[in-house]
Structure 1
Amino acid sequence: MIHVEPRGSITLVTIDRPERRNALDHDALAGLESALAAAHEGSSRVLVLTGAGGHFCSGADLSGVEDEGFVAALARVLQGLRSAPFVTMAIIDGFALGAGTQLAIACDLRIATATAGFGVPAAKLGLMVDQWTVRRLVALVGQSTARHVLLSTDVLTGQRAFDLGLVHRQGDLDEGLDWAGRIASLAPLTLQGLKIGLDEADPPEATSPAYAAAFDRAWSSEDLAEGLAAFGAKRTPEFRGR
């Protein structure tokens, strides 16, 4: 499900659930946490995260998304990616939706094919992402595009994401690994120090009381139950704002 392949100073981590387009469940999140721990213990200078079977990650496996443990585990993985003492890179092909976009933007660097797709379809289901995700998206692409992505649920193509600066380079797995290899040859202490400075320039991680209240309302709402039921039945949800 989560494959970890040490390649010298690079650790290649692959999400492999092709039958679910690499959607994340509890086991996948546990595997990602273990992969991060292994990279810490080893000699990794770059951790590369990608997906198998033509997709990066289609989001959360909705069969377990209402479990508070799932939300907490996802938060730990995102924190681990963004605070790692080594460079983290996402190589994206196919869909990176919901939690997939969250994984991608938690990484330091992103390379994607022109046909990749980024989106946060939370409002189609009645759930909410954490406030860090909102702030991070604003920091990366600006208020206007962040509002477009979050409020419309439209999907950005890899080409559009590159044009906006959300993606740093266009390319496939081989090109991404070549880039990772060049970064791994740089001075690791310098990269660690620069990451500290960049992280300190990031928006604050603390959640505002207003956002926390809205988050709790959404996750305990009838609308969420309706959104998940409609998704399972492949019908259009009827949201009532309660």
Structure 2
Amino acid sequence: MIDSIRHAENLARTDIVKVGKSLFERGLTFGSTGNISIRLDEGGWLMTPTNASLGDLDPARLSLFDSTGRHIGGDAPTKEGALHLAMYSQRQDARAVVHLHSTHSVAVSMLEGIDPLDVLPPLTAYYVMRVGRLPLVPYLPPGDAELAKAVGALSGAHHAVLLANHGPVVAGTSLANAQYATEELEETARLFLLLGTRAIRPLTSQQVAVLRQRFDPK
């Protein structure tokens, strides 16, 4: 039993390192920004530590939390860990959370006139399927307890939120799903900015309703 728990934790460590490296090398995060976490089967979480580049993670130094959210191993945790724990507290289906400062998503979060209840229009089917509705969390300083509370207040109804002037926080039923949804969000933000002031033809409300009924990306 103990060996199987250790094996599962080692796999989770390897997955975090692999995904972090992929995101970094493709320019979806930079410097020491962004963080990734995984909920462990036996309780607790693994999370990327503070001041660490996602492109150069050491699996042995990832921050380890117990089931109460107490830091019990690895390097000092990121100050944004509370964002992850707030998302997990409201989503029992969440197995992983990805938070990035991805360029196009952050740019959209700073625009005047965006809908704070649903920031991006339904430009593509895969955006609706993987992200769904995307609410905007008003700006609060990174690491602020009120920011985590604001994320928690929205995450029961939304598995993806956008922090104003900061970036997305996305939960998934697996690390792969959280990664893919984050990437789909960033690509849709890029498309939105590329379209600029041109007249667009997003999916109709009926088309969106069909996708939500079939795939329920809430």
Q: TM-score of the superposition, structure 1-length normalised?
A: 0.27
Kindly indicate which of the two structures has a greater share of residues assigned to helix. Answer: 1
Relative contact order higher in (CA < 8 Å, ≥ 6 apart): 2
